Amino acid sequence: MQREENGYIVISCDFCGTDWDEVIPMIEGHHGSIICLSCLQTALDAAAPAEEEFDCAMCLQNKPVGTKHWQHSNPTSSEGLNENAHICWDDIRQAAKAFHKDKDIDFKWDPAKYPPIKS
C-alpha cells in the first residue's frame, strides 16, 4: 500500500502494515499492493480455504469460496494496513518464486512442498 505522509510516499505491507525501510524485502502486486517477506513466509504455511469469496489484494481478482488464501490474523495498527487484504494461493506461490530468485534475499523455498491447486 502506498500513502503520502509529510510530503513523502510511504510504502507499507498491505497485510501487516509494516513500512518499507528499503531493507525489508517486499513485492508489489497490482495497483501498489505490497506483501513483505515475513507475511509471505507465514502465508505459505497458514493459507487455508476461504469461507467466503474475496478479492485478492495482489492480483485484484475476485476468488470464490474454497479458494486457498491467507489473511493476516493479527496485524499491527498502522496507517499502511489494509484490514481487508487477502492473498490467493497462486499469488503466494508467485511471490515465493520471486523472492527465491533474488540473490540478495535469504529465502529458499521448495515448490514441491507448496504445490499449485488444480482447478
59 annotated to bind ligand: no
Q: CA 99, 119, 70, 32: dihedral to nearest 10 degrees?
A: 60
Question: What are 18-70's pLDDT values in tens digits?
Answer: 899 989 999 999 888 999 999 999 999 999 999 999 999 999 999 999 999 99
Consult the annotation and say whether 36 binds a ligand: yes
39 labeled part of a ligand binding site:
yes
114 backbone dihedrals φ, ψ, rounded to 5°: -130, 70
Q: What's the pTM value of the predicted model, to 2 decimals?
A: 0.88
